[in-house]
Structures are given as C-alpha cells and as structure tokens.
Structure 1
Amino acid sequence: MSVFTFDTDPQRVSSPWLRPTDPGEKPAAKQRSATRRGSIESGVLSDYGVTKLEAEPQDGPTEYKLHLLLRPRRKYERTSTASRISGSIQSRSPLDIKSSKTAPAVGSPSSQTRQDRLEHLTTQLLWRLQQSCPYHASSAVQGLVVPQLPSDVLSPGAEVKMGKLLPGLEASRGALYEIGVADDGTLAGLTKDELDESLATLRIMASSLGCKMKVLRMVMVGDCEWLDSSDSDDSSRMTSETRHHSAKLWVAEALVTPDLQSKQDGDRLPSPKNPGQVRVTESLPDPQCGPLTTDQLRVTLTGSTTSGKSTLLGTLSYGTLDNGRGKSRLSLLKHLHEVASGVTSSVTQELIGYHDGEIINYAHNGVESWIDIHDFTKTGRLAYLLDSAGHPRYRRTILRGIVGWAPHWTLLCTSADSGDATSAAGATTSSLDVLGPAGAGVDLADAHLDLCLRLQLPLAIVITKLDLANKPSLRKTLNKILTRIKGTGRTTRILTNGPTDPDDLKRVSSHDHNAVKRVMEEMAAKDDLLSIVPIVLTSAVNGSGIGLLHALLQSLPLPPGPTSRDYIGAALNPEQPSCLFHIEDQFSLPASYALATRYADQQTDQGTVVAGHLRFGTLSIGDKVVVGPFPPDGDESRSQTPEDRATPGSYGLSISHPSSAELSRTAARNAVSASAIKGEWHTASIVSIRNLRLPVQSLSAGHVGSIGMVFDPPKHEEAEGGLTVHHASGPQIRKGMVLAVPSKHMIATGLSLQAASGLTALFDDAEAESMSVGSLVNIYIASVRATARVLRVSKAESQADGSKLPTEDIDDLFSLSEEMDAERTVEANTGTENGVEVQLELLYNREWIELGSRILVLEGSNKDKSGLEGLVGKVVEIAE
C-alpha cells in the first residue's frame, strides 16, 4: 500500500431515504433534501413512498439501530409497526404470544451495565466512522475515552463536553445512523422521549471521539399504546391506578462527522508567517507538531524490467525471502495485469525504519501500519522507498520516480545474470525479449545506468539475483558497470557480503554495519555524495546481501537541507516565495474538511489532497497558500497534461512519449502558445498535513507529504456587457503544479507568483546542437512534464572548468579484479568546450519553473529505443 495511494474514494455516506427511483415506483422522499444547513426534515412515512428501507449494509458508514437507550425499553400494549418486525428483533416468547395479546418489549433485558453498553456502542461508532475514511490504522483506537454518565436519564439538551478528535478520524466523511430501524430495514419507530434519549446517547458517543452529531430527518412511522401503574399513598387507603398512554412512533436519521471547526473565533491563533490571518487549532486533530524523526531518507529503486526491483523491495519491507518466482513482490502490486505479466507499471512506495540496529518493517512485532513504523522508529531513521517501473513502455513513470520526487539517493538494480542466457525460473529477460526485433543491440540496463550518471544523482548499485549468476556472467556485469562509472570520474566501492544469517532480516549485524561505515567515512572525508558509488550484491532468494543493503539504507548520508537559493543567487532570482511545494499526485478531499475554514456555511466541494515534496520553506495547518498555475476556465484541452492526451503508439514509443511528427500534428491543432492568463493562481487554506501518513502540524523543507486544502470560494466576475461570470466549482489540480506561500515582500508589493511560458536551457553536451529549430520535445523539470517547441539553438560560452574527479583502484572481489583490470578503460568526462543554449516554448500550459533548476530533454525520435536517451542541462532564463 502506497503512502499516497490510499483509498481515494472511500464509501460515501448515502441516506437510504434518498435511494434512486425505481421504474414505476413513487420517487423516494419526493425529492426532499436534508442538506439545508441547520434544518431537520420532518414528515410522515407516506411522504416518502416507502414502507421499509434497504437492509443494513455489513460494511460502510451506515448503521441501523432499534434504539440507543442505556436502559430496558417499556412494554407496549399495541404498536402499529409490530406486524412488520421479525421475531429475531422483537425477542418475544412463544408463550407470551399464545397467552396474551399484550405486545412484548422491543429489546430484551441485558446483563450489560450502562457503562459497558456505552463503550460497546462507541466502539461500533468508531468502526463506522473509519469505513468512510481513506486511512485505516489500527492505532486509531488507542486513546478511546468514554465518559461516565452523570445520571440514569439523559437530558436531550444537556451540554456535552467535546473531546479531542481521535487521530485517524480527521479524514472521515462521517457515519450515518438510522435510529428506530431494524437491521433488515424495518421501520419499528420510537416514542418521542425514547428517541430524544437515544439521540442524547449518540451525541455523547460522538463527543467522546471528538465528533459532532446532527439530526438530518425525523419521520413518523406509526403509533403505539402502553399501560403503566402508579401507586398513591392516601391517609385512609392505598390505591393502585393504571394509566393508558398513546403516542406516535418516530424514526430519526443522524449524521456524525469529525469536529474540525473552532468553537469560536477567539480560539484561532495568528499565523507566524502572516499575522493578519488566523490558524485553526482548537478543534482540529491533535497531530504531532512534526515528524517523530527528521532523519528521513528518500530513495528511488530504478532499473530495467525483470531486474528484481519489486521482489527486492518486498523482501526489504516484509522481511520474507522470495521463492524464486516473485512471491515477495505480490503484496506490492496494485494491478492484476502486473501479477499476470510480472511487469511493474506503477510506482509503489514503502517505508522501512531503523532504530538502534533494529529493522522496523512489516515483519516487526506490533507493526500493522505505516503509523506503527513511525512509532517504533521514533528518533531513528525512516527510509522511504519508491519502486518505479522498468519497461520502456512506462518510461514516464521511470522518469517521474528519479526526477519528480527529488530522491536523495537512487538505487540502480541490475541483475547478476544479465550476461547469461538462461531459461531458469526468475531469470532476467534480454532486451530482445522485451523489445522484440527492434531491441537488437539495445542494452536496457546500460540505458538506466547512463541516465543516472547523466543526471548526476547520488547513486548506489544493487546487483540482484546473485543466486542465478555464474562467475562469467557476474564478471561481465560488474566489468560493464565499473567501466561506465569510472568513465565519469566517480569511484566505486564493492561492499563484501558476510555469512548469511536469518537475523539479517530483523537486525543490522555488526559486520554489515562496519563494512558500510568504512565507505561512509570515506565519502564524508571527500564531502561529496557523488564521489563514491557503493555496490552491493544481493539475492532475495537466499538472503545474501540483504542485511548489507539494510545497513546501507540505515547509513547513507542526507544532502544539506534545501533552501530557496540553492540553484541560483538572489541577484539573478530575487523574487522567491517563502515556501514551495511540488505537486506529484492529487486525491479528493472529504467535504467535511471545509468545515475547518471560515467558509463553513458555503459550498464544500472545493477541497483536495495533493502529495509531493516540499522544495524549501515550512508549511503549517492554517496557512494561506496559492496554487497553480491554472489554465483558462473552460479550456479542457489546455488543462490536460501531455500524458492525458491520447496519442497513437508505435513500437519503441510509449503513449506518453509520442514521436516528433505526432507532436507536430498535435501542436497544429493547438497552435496558440501558453501566455499570461487571468485567474492563473487560486488561494486555499491548509486544513491537514501528513508526513509519510503521520498527521503533523507542519512540514519541513526536503520532506514529502500530503497536504489537505480547501480552496476559497470563487468570486463572481462581471464580463463585458454586464453579464455575471460564474466560475466552475473546484479548480482541477494536475501534476506539475506548485503550492506556495508568497514572501512578505510579495504580499506587501502585491506581486504574484510568475509562471513561465518558455525558458532557455544550457547544455554541456555537444549533442544538443543536433536539435532542430521547430521540432517538439518532452521536458522534465522537477515535477513538471511538458511538451515544448525548440525556438533557438546556439553556442554559449564555456561553463565547465575542465576539472576531473580522481579515480581509484577497485576493491578486489572474488579474485575478479585482476581479470577486469586488463579490460577496463577510463574515459575523461570533458563534456563540450562551449555550452549549447536552447530556447524552448511551452505548448499547452504555463508552468512554475525555478531558475537554475535541472532540465531533462527527450526527443520524440528515441534513437536507442530505450526511451531514456536525453540531454541534461540547466535552466538559465525564464520567459514570462
């Protein structure tokens, strides 16, 4: 289960009274609505055209209850609804039915105390609330507090103290209670006093969980009669008087939702960034101020298809060895076609903790969710691993994994048997098998390695499937890797495996820790994360090297904390927001979140959850942010991302990377380039933050997380001719947008964030000169993926100083080093004497592009058929 790929559409709270109309049947509820704020729908059963509701669903947020009384019900002499109620819920005895016409009590006496029953009912309510929540964490039930009742009889108007919202419920869409209704949907009904008492019980249950209760509708379903005796003590004689009572029977529908709104405006605190705005804190969930540990390592696993990435990740995160056929990867897959084909097509995200040498994963006792991993790790390290696809067909996913999420380190997985033609189970397929006849001469493993080296990523190599390799194939694989890496001036260090121990899946051994420590000390002495490339040889089948890889993940150094001036100085880029969040994914936000803002009485469909990483600055709950850039209203073609547009695919070309000719035809249909537009940025309020699924109050620079926000209601504008323009509700978020807090200077001067319609990039690679003016290319910058037109290609002044990184001898491994030395060559990374400047124009959407950021350009021709051959440069100019 991914940290962000939670249930984007959990079960909705849907009233059974408003069911869809069946053909030939009277419309349910005569289209009555119970959504008017502060109102209660009241009526009789005939108004709804039903005699019975659908049976109570076993799962979901809807609960049917005959009553919520904490005492036995009275006995009725007659009820008009008795004939509808089955014996299982009436609990009448056959003897009573034969000997008496008096109707028995609804609900049999119970040995439960009032307190025990209240706790049972509250736990049931918690479960129903979790059914409409995208997050399901077992730890959510911790801290459940049920208050002691003040008296035997609950007063309907009694004030109930609101408790703190139970962690995990802040994203719940609520729970719907049908009171006076049997499990099979029979409308039994309650008298008014019993109904009021049941609603009072529900209010106490909700308050103990930090939720509020609202009655949506009350429906009269019948009538009843009962007798009671009252004794009177007269001075002259004792009398016993029997009274006859009659009353109507009612059914109520109540909605329980998380209380996300402050009790009063005075409970709101000023934001430290903007003293003029307020931050909602009083009744919001009580998350941590920040993560339990700030030592968070973000790692992307990349490599060619069938190199064993997913299998390796399954072994690391679940602590189980593979059976040689990919068993350990099954728990990570999201789609049936991935299970059938063995080819991963999506991004999988897992979390592994390390604390005092202990490995905190799903094999650890007590760990059932990601939140438990946070709890057990505490001040240790969290390794956040992303497993990307490897097949050329999914190269967009590959590139998003190593470019968009800005990983601290990249683990390049290469199978040890790649140089050995074998048909053994689990063996690595060749490029010819993957790509067919057109794949002849294409080395997919080498293409992944070349991309990582060109992007200058902090890199570690993981040799997989060691159990399938023989000495010649291992020699060939290592020689190819070592030659390419040393050709860039970087040093390799092969970490030697110790004896395999089953405990390597539970703890980091001292041998593995010391082996990694020596390499990390050497890297620290050089003060350069790019200086050394560690190499680990592993097997997910016999466990060889798995402990060493855990030790490496526990010890890899983190880069310095990012700032707004990392790419370029203030002189060239003076206007930067105070914080910047790159959006990598988007989900729906429960409408109840809107109640946490000052627009609680307006529309509630303006919310969304975005996932990504915080480039710099700090975000906190209650902050006012700007989101964008957005395309013009109503222009759906401009609002789509390139991957959303259908383009015909051909062999060697993925749908997300069309050929240059196809891009030209597409551009002809949308020839207008991106330009400045009104309404490019929308404002929103942050109502929730999660750091790797842990609810927090703030998110720090360099961390990944999900941000829940509610957009400000759109303003009505007057167009030419005096017509009023009504904007569509809910701006459409797309990948590649940013979320930012303007700086104080920008707020004071009224400046807005400036999106770009084009850019100029500088490349050191002389191949950039081969780009043709007018051709169309795909570009990747941070989370942005866009199609651009080449406007100009020209020489630039030299940007490189020609210096080279020193190279060192390779460690001896299995006595292979002497044989490799004769074949190894060292190539100088001289680049091009003069840089090449390329001016690009964005075709579809204006984008936020940071000056000085890295750019990857891929041409549609895909010369090597791997789809990963591209040019890496730096953005040196932004066109507004």
Structure 2
Amino acid sequence: MFVRFIKNELSDLVQRICTVGNVDAGKSTLLGVLTHNILDDGRGLARNKLLRHRHEKETGRTSSIGQQILGFDDFGNVVNPTVHGKLDWGQLCQKSSKIVNFYDLAGHEKYFKTTVSGIMGSASDYCMLVVGSNHGLTGMAREHLGVAVALGLPTFAVVTKIDFTPANIIKQTISGMGKAFKSSGIRRIPILVQNVNHVIVAAENFNSSKVVPIFKVSSVNGEGMDNLKLFLNLVRPSRKKSTSQNSTFAVDEIFYKVGIGTVVAGALTGKPIKAGSTMSLGPDENGKFSPVGVRSIERKYLSVSVCNRHFSHIFILIFKSLNDGESAALALRKIKRNEIRKGMFLVQNIANPMAYRHFRGTVTILHHATTIKKNYQAVVHIGSIHQSAKIMSMDKQILRSGDVSTVHFYFLKRPEYIQIGQLFLFREGKTKAIGRITELVE
C-alpha cells in the first residue's frame, strides 16, 4: 500500500523528468497529451501546444529545452485542466499535492548538444525514454539511453503510436528494447507494464535503477495512458538532501522583463536564500565574482519568500520555502542581461568563491572510434556548464573505448565554478566519456 503524507508545502513532491528519444518518436505529442489533458488528432494538435518557435511548429521537431508540468491531487487524480491556450501553472500548483516537471528535449542529432545540456543541467530525478513503436530503439534513442545510464538516472520507457502500428511490429520493438536493456553495458531488467498490478511492482522497484518499466501508449486513442499516469503519481522521489552549509544557485536561463529587470532561472543547492539578500555572481571571463542583490524570488509564477535547496528553473509556486531539489526564478538588482551567461552561479556563505581552469578527474571512455591522446579536445558538460576543454595529461599514453584513466583537463575559454565530486560528461561527435572530478588545480 502506498501512503502519501499531505504536507503544507509541495517541495518534497516535485519530481523532474527529462524526456528523450529519437526524432519523430512522439515525445512532444506525449507530453502535450499528459499535461493538457487532451488526446491528439494525429496531425500535431497536442505537440503544437508545447512547441515555442516558429520553425519547430513548421517541422514538428523540438530544437530547444521545453518544460511542462503535470499535477496530481491528494487522491491521485490529474488536476491539469483541458485548455486551448497556456496552462496557468500557479493555479495548477495550488491544487496539487504532487508535481511532475517534464523537460522536453530535442531528438534530432543536430541538437544533441542541446539535449545533453538539458539532461546534465536539469538535475533530473528520472529519464523517460520515448520510443516509436514503428521504428524501435534506433538512432539517437540509443545515444540518449547511453547518456542516461552513464549518469545513473533511473529510466522508464514509453512505446508510442501503438494505435496504427501492427501488433507484430510492436512485439519486435519491445523485444529489441528488452535485449538492449539486458545487454552487458546496461544490465537492467525490463518490465512490460500492462495492468495496475504491474504499475505497483514497477513503482516499488524503480528507484533501485535495476528495472526499466516499459509502457505501451497511444496519444490518439488514449490506450495505456492511465497506467502511465498512475506510475508517475506513485513513483517515489529519489533525491538526496544536501548537507552543505553554503547556497549555490546554478544559472540555466536568463530573461529580461520590463519593469523588473534581469531574471535568472535555475537550481538551488544548499541552504535557503531570501529575497532581498546579497549574493556573489560569477565567474566572469576572468574568474571573478561580484556582489548582486536578489530583488525577488518566484516559483511557478508565484512569489516565494525563502528559496531552499534544489528547485530548478522558471517555475514558481506559493511555498513558504523552496526545498531541496527545487527550481526558482530570481530577479536581480542593477545588473544587465549581457553581464550574465548560462553556467554562472549565485553563491552565498562562501567567503572567497574560486573558479578553476584546470581540474583532474577519473574518466571512463564510453565510446571512441580510434584512440584518445594528450591534447585531445572535446566539449565538457558539468551540470549547466558546457565548454571546450583540452586534455593536458593522462596516466596512460592512449585511451580506447572501455578504458578508465585519471585525466588532467584545461578549459579553453574561461575558468568555471566547479567542485570535487561532480559528475561530468565530455563528448566530441560520437565520442562520449563520463567522469567525476577528483582534484581542482590552481
């Protein structure tokens, strides 16, 4: 039996899920159906409610990082209304006892950098892999799955378009996915979810990262959607609380609003911060931090008096505080839009924050066609940071796929605010490697 304690605040029941999969798998359509409480017409009705840019609507393909929310009340019912326009997140959140925050990421190979930035920067709790039943686990879906597994994200899969795909093709798709999940590089147990009992078993075991629940759904006739919604409602948060005595706010988005000024959105880690407080913003091109005032804090478009650790991105809610894992938007005083970039940080309770260009990390090479040597350059992703870096030295002469080594990196453009223990991903073309920072070098 699942018991949910009804709290005065929603902080501990907000889950972030990054949505990945191959191009044309139906990711945006699925999210449109879930968050707008409608069915698709087979011609883009649902996805057009999510797509933001003109070229996205013309091609039907996502090229940016979008965000949508799904709310559940105390009894597990979806509170999202059926609306023709934009959802009122403020009202939705006030009615919800749990919020699922989806990150809609691009599936086209052309936008892989944006997708990796979304996976790393969103600090997601889970990964939802969307697979078109008519195409199977192919192309970028395998790339995205590899990144999610390398980062240790619990992953569940959704097979879409089952309303028009022949039964034998659907069976082949699910069989191929099962083989991929059980392969030596992943080693997870696939669970095909077909009824409520399967949903409960999947939800109970999901946080162990040993299972991959597989859902079959249709965005046109709604088949399988009830099982998926029940799973999203039942799955428990996996986020660990921070013990840090400092406050660190990672800047992921930057806006300018007339009458308010510069607004930054991102995730808070550490102790609470208050509206009206002073923080240090940086690093700039020279690695320096400068003081900046926080005019106001919002989450899911509603004001917040105190911002607690870990709430990510432009959403704003009526909370007494924003707790571990939350996102928020901060309006800053007397600073111009062009003085801030993605990957900067707002820090508090740190006397002299330091930025570094050199760092060492233990690296595992996931895939590389030939060999990696000294002076090799690739893009390094560390949370919301992404910058080209060069390998200065290694404890091996060459690295191939599967090798593990301690590597000394050097950021080519500017110093960054990084910390020991952070996970990072570096990639160049189809080359991918994952590592953990072990030493900061001045």
Give the TM-score band, short-chain normalised: 0.7 to 0.9
- Residues 730 and 766 of structure 1: CA distance in aligned 2, closer, same or farther (over 3 Å): closer
- The separation in 2 between residues aligned to 1:703 and 1:608, in whole angstroms, is 21
- The separation in 1 between residues aligned to 2:212 and 2:371, in whole angstroms, is 32
**For 1:468, what is the secondary structure of its paired residue?**
coil
- Residues 492 and 730 of structure 1: CA distance in aligned 2, closer, same or farther (over 3 Å): closer
Q: Quote the residue 2:263 is aligned against.
A: 609
Q: Quote the residue 2:104 is aligned against.
A: 387
Q: Quote the residue 1:686 is aligned against.
A: 294
Decide which of 358, 362, 365 is 1:762's aligned counterpart.
362
Q: Quote the residue 1:350 is aligned against.
A: 68
Number of corresponding residues: 412
Q: Quote the residue 1:857 is aligned against.
A: 426
Amino acid in structure 2 at the alignment position of 1:306: D
- Residues 470 and 839 of structure 1: CA distance in aligned 2, closer, same or farther (over 3 Å): same
1:466 is the counterpart of 2:89: no
Does the Cα contact within 8 Å between 1:759 and 1:841 map onto a contact in 2? yes
- The separation in 2 between residues aligned to 1:730 and 1:711, in whole angstroms, is 10
Q: Quote the residue 2:332 is aligned against.
A: 709
Q: Quote the residue 2:435 is aligned against.
A: 873
**For 1:327, what is the secondary structure of its paired residue?**
coil
**For 2:95, what is the secondary structure of its paired residue?**
helix
1:735 is the counterpart of 2:311: no
- Residues 293 and 873 of structure 1: CA distance in aligned 2, closer, same or farther (over 3 Å): closer
Decide which of 518, 533, 553 is 2:201's aligned counterpart.
518
- The separation in 2 between residues aligned to 1:473 and 1:693, in whole angstroms, is 44
* Structure 2 gaps, min length 5: 1-7, 310-324
Q: Quote the residue 2:192 is aligned against.
A: 494
Decide which of 450, 454, 464 is 2:146's aligned counterpart.
450
Amino acid in structure 2 at the alignment position of 1:737: M
**For 2:158, what is the secondary structure of its paired residue?**
strand
- Residues 550 and 766 of structure 1: CA distance in aligned 2, closer, same or farther (over 3 Å): closer
**For 1:343, what is the secondary structure of its paired residue?**
coil
Decide which of 407, 414, 418 is 1:845's aligned counterpart.
414
- Residues 396 and 764 of structure 1: CA distance in aligned 2, closer, same or farther (over 3 Å): closer
**For 1:852, what is the secondary structure of its paired residue?**
coil
Q: Quote the residue 1:773 is aligned against.
A: 374
1:835 is the counterpart of 2:404: yes
Does the Cα contact within 8 Å between 2:20 and 2:141 map onto a contact in 1? no
Deviation per CA, 1:160-204: give whole Å up to 9, x if none. Answer: xxxxxxxxxxxxxxxxxxxxxxxxxxxxxxxxxxxxxxxxxxxxx
- Report deviation, 1:694: 2.4
Q: Quote the residue 1:26 is aligned against.
A: none
Q: Quote the residue 1:306 is aligned against.
A: 24
Q: Quote the residue 2:125 is aligned against.
A: 408
Does the Cα contact within 8 Å between 1:416 and 1:468 map onto a contact in 2? no
Does the Cα contact within 8 Å between 2:254 and 2:337 map onto a contact in 1? no
Decide which of 588, 597, 606 is 2:256's aligned counterpart.
588
- The separation in 2 between residues aligned to 1:579 and 1:408, in whole angstroms, is 20
Q: Quote the residue 1:793 is aligned against.
A: 394
- Report deviation, 1:619: 1.7
Q: Trace 1:226-305 onto structure 2 (pairs within 5 A).
A: 292-305=10-23
Does the Cα contact within 8 Å between 1:766 and 1:835 map onto a contact in 2? no
- The separation in 2 between residues aligned to 1:873 and 1:730, in whole angstroms, is 33
Q: Quote the residue 2:134 is aligned against.
A: 417
Give the alignment's TM-score, normalised by structure 2: 0.87
- Report deviation, 1:560: 3.5
Q: Quote the residue 1:23 is aligned against.
A: none
**For 1:582, what is the secondary structure of its paired residue?**
strand
- Report deviation, 1:609: 0.9
- The separation in 1 between residues aligned to 2:272 and 2:208, in whole angstroms, is 25
Highest relative contact order (Cα 8 Å, sep 6+), 1 or 2?
2
- Residues 293 and 838 of structure 1: CA distance in aligned 2, closer, same or farther (over 3 Å): closer
Decide which of 278, 299, 306 is 1:624's aligned counterpart.
278
- Residues 730 and 323 of structure 1: CA distance in aligned 2, closer, same or farther (over 3 Å): closer
Deviation per CA, 1:20-72: give whole Å up to 9, x if none. Answer: xxxxxxxxxxxxxxxxxxxxxxxxxxxxxxxxxxxxxxxxxxxxxxxxxxxxx
Does the Cα contact within 8 Å between 1:589 and 1:609 map onto a contact in 2? yes
Amino acid in structure 2 at the alignment position of 1:857: F
Does the Cα contact within 8 Å between 1:795 and 1:835 map onto a contact in 2? no
Amino acid in structure 1 at the alignment position of 2:200: K
- Report deviation, 1:539: 0.6
- The separation in 2 between residues aligned to 1:291 and 1:758, in whole angstroms, is 41
Give the alignment's TM-score, normalised by structure 1: 0.45
Runs of at least 4 residues of structure 1 off by over 6 A?
none
Does the Cα contact within 8 Å between 2:363 and 2:406 map onto a contact in 1? yes
Deviation per CA, 1:455-497: give whole Å up to 9, x if none. Answer: 2211111111111222332232222221222222222222115
- The separation in 1 between residues aligned to 2:19 and 2:386, in whole angstroms, is 20
- The separation in 2 between residues aligned to 1:731 and 1:416, in whole angstroms, is 44
- The separation in 2 between residues aligned to 1:334 and 1:374, in whole angstroms, is 22
Max radius of gyration: which structure?
1
**For 1:461, what is the secondary structure of its paired residue?**
strand
- The separation in 2 between residues aligned to 1:318 and 1:368, in whole angstroms, is 8
- Report deviation, 1:733: 0.5
- The separation in 1 between residues aligned to 2:101 and 2:228, in whole angstroms, is 14
Amino acid in structure 1 at the alignment position of 2:24: T
- The separation in 1 between residues aligned to 2:243 and 2:414, in whole angstroms, is 24
Q: Trace 1:494-573 onto structure 2 (pairs within 5 A).
A: 494-497=192-195, 512=196, 514-523=197-206, 528-564=207-243
- The separation in 1 between residues aligned to 2:179 and 2:270, in whole angstroms, is 37
* Structure 1 gaps, min length 5: 1-289, 420-429, 431-441, 498-511, 566-576, 594-606, 633-676, 713-728, 747-751, 797-830, 864-868
Does the Cα contact within 8 Å between 1:492 and 1:533 map onto a contact in 2? yes
Amino acid in structure 2 at the alignment position of 1:856: L
**For 2:395, what is the secondary structure of its paired residue?**
strand
Does the Cα contact within 8 Å between 1:291 and 1:696 map onto a contact in 2? no
1:478 is the counterpart of 2:132: no
- The separation in 2 between residues aligned to 1:763 and 1:314, in whole angstroms, is 38
**For 1:770, what is the secondary structure of its paired residue?**
coil
Amino acid in structure 2 at the alignment position of 1:560: R
- Report deviation, 1:731: 6.3
Q: Sequence identity of aligned pairs in percent?
A: 26
Does the Cα contact within 8 Å between 2:11 and 2:326 map onto a contact in 1? no
Does the Cα contact within 8 Å between 1:610 and 1:707 map onto a contact in 2? yes
- The separation in 2 between residues aligned to 1:340 and 1:531, in whole angstroms, is 40
**For 2:173, what is the secondary structure of its paired residue?**
helix
Decide which of 351, 363, 371 is 2:82's aligned counterpart.
363
**For 1:756, what is the secondary structure of its paired residue?**
coil
Tell me which protein shows more strand as a share of its residues: 2
Superposition CA RMSD, Å: 2.5
